Structure 1
């Protein structure tokens, strides 16, 4: 049996073995289309070291290279890509009305493989339907699949779904989505993951402190600081929609009264119009924006929802002091459809010292794919570690 000192030396040797490789893979992941010369320059690697590392990564099917277009008299270089036989992760976006299952290579870009609408929102039926899709992907890709991550429209604590007001769930076991017992299954809140992805790859990239807010069925989001979402003590932070910014006479499906959720989404628009609560508030809200172009009553209802949304954004800015605010899902179309009402409510809600220089409020650039990008990111974070590459190398060479 190895001594503690021997084991420590072994760990240090392993870490040194993979340190340069991980740095190259991270450059490729965060800068699609990057060249080997650019990577060497950014990481302060010699030409020989960069060539040696990329050659080793090619042998392990961790990247591939193609000739880069000539740009001058310098030495020719190559563009780094994910290897066609390399590791992948499965990312699942589990929403109120539907689900999507995607595959992401090391470049982190999810490509949807299967999708469907919920025939029933009963947890067992949803998990069964999505689990079958995940297993089909796993059967096709086999050992290339290294992790599965789920972005759920639900409150998540300690990596498990504890409640989903939008789906009508309490605690639900999602372990049935893991296609094999040895594969890591990671679960996160969809809005939190979308915000983390927006800070890495989207409109908030490079911002030290970014606030992401999205409207689907209700409001979700996260505060991201230095690329990491602030999730709270148990991982259930970011439930912005359940701040008491709405009508205290209204009971939210979450159990609380006066939730902001009920003041800004399709349920709010329907209530202002005297229409019954929609089964699918997300689709209803999108249709309402079209109706608003020709119907003054619908236009007024949309304006009231946008005003309630702007007022809440002001409160979050006052409380959290972000450098930028990104809007995902239905949030940006709602703001655009009633820009004056949103802007007035936002300005009125800001503390006086903030009004001269408020943080920019911009559309998220990842759109409806934000949660999938976030799920892929946390799965790849698990794979692209010393331990993850050790396991891949052992499986690949074996």
Structure 2
């Protein structure tokens, strides 16, 4: 029997072998369709090393190589992509009105497999339906599924939902049933946080050192992403921007606090300004108001008040967090566009004087409604593409390794 020291040495040697492979896979993930030559150049690999690493990854069903289209007489090269029999992750997006279940390969591009509206006010029924969808994906792909990652429109702390007022599900909700019978990791994250990560890695903020993502759906959410990682606090519950006390202190939020900013910017605020009852579906109400605003003066005024409140609060976030770029998701960009002068004036007035000459650009999200799914897939792949993750995959396919 091998000694503990020998076994530890063998593990270290095996992990060292994965470092170059992981770097290659990360380049493929960052830029699907990248050429092998470009990967070698970026990583400082010799042609021989790049060939050896990609051959090993191909043999382990981790990537595939196809000849790149070329023009001219240069030496042909190959482009890298996920292997058709390689690892997969399941990404789930639980939104206020519905849910989606998608599958992603190592390139991180989610493909929706199933989607369905919630059974109103019945979290158990919705969770059961999602669990069945996850089970069907797992049954179809077997042990190729390496992780399940959930983006949920709720407050997430220590990997669990602690408050789900946006969904109308009350407080804590147990999502462990989604993978109860599956031997795969379950990851849970806030939907806005994960969408922000996706925008920073491959969306509108790609390449930014510090990106502020802010979205309006039912309320306001978001995250600060630094070097591709969300700054989400000690327990993961950071980024609840909508619950900053930027709003009317006379208003009590469903979260329990007073004066929450989100009550002044989303569909509930527009309804209140118009004298309408609180909408059952604030997002849908907000969308309809934005459509009506160009032709109805009262709606245009209500939308303008919401845009002004949004711009002022956003200035506070910029002052506090100092981002390179601000990305607007969900209804945030349409709200800005519908009342751009009022939004910009409030944003500018709220900025510290030294920032006004060169404020960070404010841009629309690039991934749209798929942002949270992209982020959930990225979160799962962060777990899969590790030395331990690749060791486990290789052991199942090559037991002698």
Distance in 2, matches of 1:324 and 1:2, equals 54
DSSP 3-state at the match of 1:132: helix
Deviations 1:317-346 (A, max 9, x none): 111111111111110111011101100110
Q: What is the CA-CA distance between 1:74 and the residue it aligns to?
A: 2.2
The answer as to 2:384 corresponding to 1:397 is: no
Corresponding residue number in structure 1 for 2:355: 354
Deviations 1:153-200 (A, max 9, x none): 111111010001201321111001116442000000111111111111
Distance in 1, matches of 2:44 and 2:196, equals 31
State the superposition RMSD in angstroms: 1.2
DSSP 3-state at the match of 1:115: strand
Distance in 2, matches of 1:18 and 1:379, equals 19
The answer as to 2:57 corresponding to 1:62 is: no
Corresponding residue number in structure 2 for 1:27: 27
Counterparts in 2 of 1:309-324, with a 5 A limit? 309-324=310-325
Tell me, yes or no, if the aligned pair for 1:138 and 1:179 is still in contact at 8 Å.
no
Distance in 1, matches of 2:350 and 2:11, equals 53
Distance in 2, matches of 1:149 and 1:17, equals 28
DSSP 3-state at the match of 1:166: helix
Corresponding residue number in structure 2 for 1:157: 157
Counterparts in 2 of 1:243-254, with a 5 A limit? 243-254=244-255
DSSP 3-state at the match of 2:311: helix
Distance in 2, matches of 1:119 and 1:352, equals 49
Tell me, yes or no, if the aligned pair for 2:164 and 2:173 is still in contact at 8 Å.
no
The answer as to 2:377 corresponding to 1:381 is: no
Corresponding residue number in structure 2 for 1:49: 49
Q: What is the CA-CA distance between 1:8 and the residue it aligns to?
A: 2.8
Tell me, yes or no, if the aligned pair for 2:102 and 2:111 is still in contact at 8 Å.
yes
Distance in 1, matches of 2:283 and 2:147, equals 30
Corresponding residue number in structure 1 for 2:205: 204
Deviations 1:46-85 (A, max 9, x none): 1111111111111111111111112333211111111111
Q: TM-score, normalised by structure 1?
A: 0.98
DSSP 3-state at the match of 1:93: strand
Distance in 1, matches of 2:108 and 2:183, equals 22
Q: What is the CA-CA distance between 1:123 and the residue it aligns to?
A: 2.0
Corresponding residue number in structure 1 for 2:136: 136
- In structure 2, list runs of 5 or more residues that go unmatched: none
Counterparts in 2 of 1:102-117, with a 5 A limit? 102-117=102-117
Distance in 1, matches of 2:392 and 2:188, equals 22
Q: What is the CA-CA distance between 1:4 and the residue it aligns to?
A: 4.1
Tell me, yes or no, if the aligned pair for 2:89 and 2:147 is still in contact at 8 Å.
yes
Q: What is the CA-CA distance between 1:295 and the residue it aligns to?
A: 0.8
| Larger displacement relative to structure 2 (262-271 or 67-76) | 67-76
- In structure 1, list runs of 5 or more residues that go unmatched: none
Distance in 1, matches of 2:269 and 2:362, equals 23
The answer as to 2:366 corresponding to 1:365 is: yes
Deviations 1:92-151 (A, max 9, x none): 001111111110000011111111111223221121111111111111111110000000
Corresponding residue number in structure 2 for 1:263: 264
DSSP 3-state at the match of 1:12: helix
Tell me, yes or no, if the aligned pair for 2:61 and 2:86 is still in contact at 8 Å.
yes
Equivalenced residue count is 398
| Larger displacement relative to structure 2 (69-78 or 248-257) | 69-78
Distance in 2, matches of 1:34 and 1:135, equals 33
Distance in 2, matches of 1:2 and 1:222, equals 48
| Larger displacement relative to structure 2 (123-132 or 214-223) | 123-132
Tell me, yes or no, if the aligned pair for 1:154 and 1:166 is still in contact at 8 Å.
yes
Distance in 2, matches of 1:197 and 1:179, equals 27
Tell me, yes or no, if the aligned pair for 2:90 and 2:149 is still in contact at 8 Å.
yes
Corresponding residue number in structure 1 for 2:38: 38
